[in-house]
């Protein structure tokens, strides 16, 4: 297999058809790279979104647990003799 | 015997399969494309009739063939989704649609740029280019129909019906356009008929076709993974995979 | 059977009550065809050369405009859901609906074609070919178009989307119909083209009712 052109300039010139050949190849390359990069960018954004959603869910559940504990403490303070018999901590259902 | 295939109707299993296949497709795509295009551009002998402009064949033919192939794959996925009610089949269908449309556009663009030095005009209504143009419209129709629906289950079924109607019409359109072209061919005589291609020119073409096909597979897999996660956003398996959280599905009731 | 007959009468009666709406696609048809001589110049030879194609393109566009009516009102007031629940199979109901739509909306198109053949200076042979191709082709447009209409009936702005979906599908019909008219203008026989259009028609009549019924179920959800 031999290189078909005598020099690099000849290669770029493509026997006179430089504009057409290179325009086609560059457009193809850009379109394919474009669709690939767009898909990867969307993929990254989605993963970040999932992370954020998860972190938000964690924060909300932590806040809920805090509120429950505070409520418990307040109930205990108001009712030292354990009149209200409930010691149910609201666990998130798994 | 084929029961195990039904497990891929679950998005989680399909996502796992995509993960496994992604890197293989990427590797084959990159090596195939680099080898094929460098060989075709630099080392394949130039055509005695068309000179060096024929090298466009190494992107025009693969993209044209695979644009058609991608549409058939889309239609098969639509069939699987409609008949067997697989959500993942519709996700595949909508994942491959834009990639196929880009391939069709590439084939039209390169066909036009190949035609200018050959026939002297940017556009010519020959059978192949016209069929490719109609194929592009069919792709755009499926994509727009899918995006017009809010409920993506409904959208998948509707776009699936459209994809199947389109695939039945593709041979009809192709033959009618070919026939139409032979009717009206008074002025121009196409020099590019069906030349027998020399083996030194054939091998880079085959490698390019393989590379393009693997590229389509690679991008479709990425897009399918995106689609799966977007549709299953609040499921526990998604949260577990991407950060070990319990998942926002656990968030229920009053806040 | 009784259900289908009463459905037919109901649709005809309803369409007849809204005669004004029937006129709109027809007027669009005539107006579009009037535009062409104005745009291209009144030379009779040019008009004759492009006449068949112009009438067919205008027919496709105006039929696409008027096709939305097929299921829109029934979808809006809930009758479509009732059709799905009735013991008569949906695909038979759909056939009756498509045929009544063809009868009420498209046959008027036929009746006005002689005028348009006059506008575009078609010869008598071309006119006969035009009528035959319209006779065979318009039911094909109705049946295949109904699939698109059924898919988009639930969408708010489905009109242009419908055209975008259906025009590529109508291209083979357009090619064969206009080639028949062209052969007629050269006094050549055009039976092969008519045969192919008839084959497409039979194929679509056989398969489209099921596709339409499925699409209606998808839209109704």
Q: Across all residues in chain B, what is the average pLDDT?
A: 86
pLDDT of residue B246: 58
Label residue B243 by pLDDT band (50, 70, 90).
low
Beta strands (DSSP E) in chain C are none
The phi, psi pair for C120, rounded to 5°, reads -100, 15
Asked if residue B15 belongs to a domain, the reply is no
- B224 inside 8 A of chain A by CB: no
The residue to which tokens 């991608």 are assigned: B70
Q: Which two tokens stand for residue B28?
A: 């084959």
In contact, C94 and C213? CB cutoff 8 Å: yes
B-chain CB neighbours of C161 within 8 Å are 144-145, 148
Tally of domains in chain B: 1
B-chain CB neighbours of A20 within 8 Å are 53, 56, 113-114, 116-117
For residue C215, the distance in angstroms to the closest alpha carbon of chain B comes to 7
Average pLDDT of the residues in A8-25: 83
Here the contacts of B216-219 (C-beta below 8 Å, separation 24 or greater) are B216/B66, B216/B70, B216/B96, B216/B99, B216/B100, B216/B103, B217/B21, B217/B25, B217/B29, B218/A36, B218/B22, B218/B25, B218/B26, B218/B29, B219/A35, B219/A36, B219/A39, B219/B99
* Rounded-to-integer distance, Cα A46 and Cα B159, Å: 24
What does the pLDDT look like over B43-84, one tens digit per residue? 888 777 777 788 888 999 999 999 999 999 999 999 999 999
Asked if residue B189 belongs to a domain, the reply is no
Could you tell me the residue range of the domain that residue B120 belongs to?
Answer: 20-41+51-183+199-235
Asked if residue B13 belongs to a domain, the reply is no
A-chain CB neighbours of B43 within 8 Å are 1-4
Average pLDDT of the residues in B126-153: 91
Q: Which ranges of B39-121 does DSSP label H, i.e. alpha helix?
A: 57-84, 87-119
C47-73 b/e with 16+ CB inside 10 Å = b? beeebbbbbbbbbbebbbbbbbbbbbe
Indicate the domain borders of chain C.
2-220
The nearest alpha carbon in chain B to C215 belongs to B158
pLDDT of residue A7: 80
For residue A81, the distance in angstroms to the closest alpha carbon of chain B comes to 30
* Rounded-to-integer distance, Cα C167 and Cα C147, Å: 13
Residues B148, C152: C-beta atoms closer than 8 Å = yes
Asked if residue B8 belongs to a domain, the reply is no
DSSP C143-183: HHHHHHHHHHTTSTTHHHHHHHHHHHHHHHHHHHHHHHHHH
pLDDT value at A88 more than 90: no
Coil/strand/helix, residue A92: coil
| DSSP bridge pairs for B47 | B51
The angle at the Cα of C205, spanning C203 to C206, to the nearest 5 degrees, equals 65
pLDDT of residue A84: 63
Indicate the domain borders of chain A.
50-77
What does the pLDDT look like over C96-152, one tens digit per residue? 999 999 998 888 888 888 888 888 888 899 999 999 999 999 999 999 999 999 999
Question: Range with the lowest mean pLDDT among A4-18, A58-72, C46-60, C118-132?
Answer: A4-18
Does the pTM of the predicted model rise above 0.95?
no
- B34 inside 8 A of chain A by CB: no
pLDDT value at B253 more than 60: no
């Amino acid at each position: 297999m031999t290189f078909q052109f005598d020099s690099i300039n000849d290669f770029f010139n493509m026997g006179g058809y430089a504009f057409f050949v290179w325009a086609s190849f560059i457009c193809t390359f850009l379109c394919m790279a474009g669709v690939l990069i767009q898909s990867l960018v969307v993929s990254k954004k989605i993963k970040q979104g999932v992370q954020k959603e998860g972190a938000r869910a964690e924060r909300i559940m932590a806040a809920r647990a805090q509120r429950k504990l505070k409520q418990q403490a307040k109930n205990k303070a108001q009712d030292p003799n354990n009149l209200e018999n409930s010691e149910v901590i609201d666990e998130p259902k798994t | 015997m084929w029961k195990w295939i039904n497990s891929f109707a679950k998005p989680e299993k399909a996502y796992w399969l995509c993960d496994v296949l992604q890197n293989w497709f990427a590797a084959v795509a990159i090596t195939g494309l680099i080898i094929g295009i460098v060989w075709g551009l630099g080392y394949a002998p130039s055509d005695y009739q068309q000179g060096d402009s024929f090298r466009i064949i190494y992107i025009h033919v693969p993209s044209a063939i695979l644009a058609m192939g991608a549409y058939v794959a889309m239609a098969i996925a639509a069939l699987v989704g409609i008949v067997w009610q697989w959500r993942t089949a519709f996700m595949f269908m909508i994942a491959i649609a834009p990639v196929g449309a880009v391939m069709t556009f590439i084939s039209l663009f390169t066909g036009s740029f190949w035609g200018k030095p050959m026939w002297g005009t940017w556009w010519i209504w020959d059978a192949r280019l016209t069929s490719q143009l109609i194929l592009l419209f069919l792709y755009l129709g499926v994509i727009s129909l899918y995006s017009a629906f809010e409920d993506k289950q409904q959208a998948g079924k509707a776009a699936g019906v459209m994809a199947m109607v389109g695939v039945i019409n593709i041979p009809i359109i192709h033959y009618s356009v070919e026939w139409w072209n032979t009717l009206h061919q008074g002025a121009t005589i196409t020099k590019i008929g069906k030349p027998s291609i020399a083996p030194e020119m054939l091998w880079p073409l085959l490698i390019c076709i393989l590379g393009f096909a693997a590229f389509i597979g690679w991008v479709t897999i990425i897009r399918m993974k995106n689609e799966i996660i977007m549709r299953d956003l609040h499921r526990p398996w998604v949260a577990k995979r991407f950060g070990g959280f319990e998942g926002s599905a656990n968030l229920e009731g009053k806040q | 059977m009784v259900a289908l007959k009463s459905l037919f009468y109901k649709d005809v009666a309803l369409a007849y009550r809204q005669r004004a709406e029937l006129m709109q696609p027809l007027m669009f048809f005539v107006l579009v065809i009037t535009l062409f001589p104005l745009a291209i110049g009144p030379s009779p030879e040019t008009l004759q050369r492009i006449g068949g194609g112009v009438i067919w393109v205008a027919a496709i566009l105006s039929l696409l405009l008027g096709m939305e009516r097929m299921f829109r009102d029934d979808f809006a007031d809930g009758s479509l859901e009732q059709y799905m629940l009735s013991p008569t199979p949906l695909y038979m109901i759909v056939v009756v609906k498509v045929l009544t739509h063809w009868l009420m909306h498209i046959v008027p198109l036929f009746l006005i074609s002689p005028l348009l053949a006059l506008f575009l200076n078609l010869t008598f042979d071309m006119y006969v070919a035009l009528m035959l191709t319209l006779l065979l082709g318009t039911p094909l447009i109705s049946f295949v178009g109904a699939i698109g209409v059924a898919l988009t009936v639930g969408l708010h702005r489905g009109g242009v989307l419908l055209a975008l979906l259906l025009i590529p599908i109508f291209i083979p019909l357009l090619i064969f119909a206009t080639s028949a008219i062209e052969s007629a203008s050269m006094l050549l026989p055009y039976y092969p083209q008519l045969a192919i259009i008839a084959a497409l028609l039979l194929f679509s009549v056989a398969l489209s009712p099921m596709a339409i019924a499925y699409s209606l179920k998808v839209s109704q959800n």
